Amino acid sequence: MPVKRAAGAHEPKRQRGHLRVAAIMEAGIAVFTEKGYDAATMTEIAARSETAIGSLYRFFPSKEALADALLLRYAEHVTGQLDALAQRASSMAQDKLADELVDFMLSLESQRGFTVALLDARGGSEVRRTRFRQAAREGLGRVLRAAMPALPKAKSETVAAVLLHVLKGLNAIDVDKAAARRLLQAEIRLLVRVYLGSAQQSAQASR
């Protein structure tokens, strides 16, 4: 599905243009991650994506427009993945759902660093963070209600907020040894499973 354009960005008309935009955005992620927002230049992003500088500015007239497009794509990816999970959640066992949620958060790990950096650099970061958190919480709430139909909406939102805090712990694990990382991730998987089980019991008891 094509990514919506951020303000100021040019919508490509042909498949070749879409491929070029995708290459630019991937190069943008790499350069922003390596250099940080302030030190990154459009010239380097053009070189990294093998795009003429004029073509780069035609699609993204400024570094700010490119950064905003990347933030928008990240937000759409998160909500899209949660919506897809919500469609499957009703047929999942709780342990499977817990694993899916942990794997989902792990899949975001490579993008989270540059996303946080862009949020901080683009200004108004707290407003943007609040919007991201709200979108993620609402999406996770839909997953929970699909998996536990008896769970009231208000309770699902509370459970979603707690789960997001727990799952963010995966990105905070700072251990060099792979075995230690796997052990810590396994503990978080267990924690999510137990918490989902508790939420299910609470929902059934309130019926």
pLDDT at residue 105 greater than cutoff 60: yes
Tell me the CB-side half-sphere exposure of residue 202, using CA atoms within 13 A: 14
Q: How confident is the model at residue 4 (pLDDT cuts 50, 70, 90)?
A: very low
Q: Are residues 74 and 118 in the same domain?
A: yes
- Read off the pLDDT of residues 40-58 as tens digits, 9 standing for 90 and up: 999 999 999 999 999 999 9
Q: Three-state SS across 112-160?
A: HHHHHHHHHHCCCHHHHHHHHHHHHHHHHHHHHHHHCCCCCHHHHHHHH
Average pLDDT, the chain: 86
The structure's pTM equals 0.77
The DSSP secondary-structure symbol of 205 reads: H
- My answer on whether 157 and 73 are in the same domain is yes
Instruction: Give the 3-state secondary structure of residue 42.
Output: helix
Q: Are residues 49 and 77 in the same domain?
A: no
147 lies in the same domain as 188: yes
Indicate if the pLDDT at residue 153 is higher than 50.
Answer: yes
Residue 7 covered by a domain: no
What is the domain-level CATH number for residue 114?
Answer: 1.10.357
Residue 40 lies in domain: 15-64
Tell which of 24, 49, 64 closes a domain: 64
pLDDT of residue 74: 87
Backbone torsions φ then ψ of 151, nearest 5 degrees:
-75, 120
In a domain, 10, yes or no: no
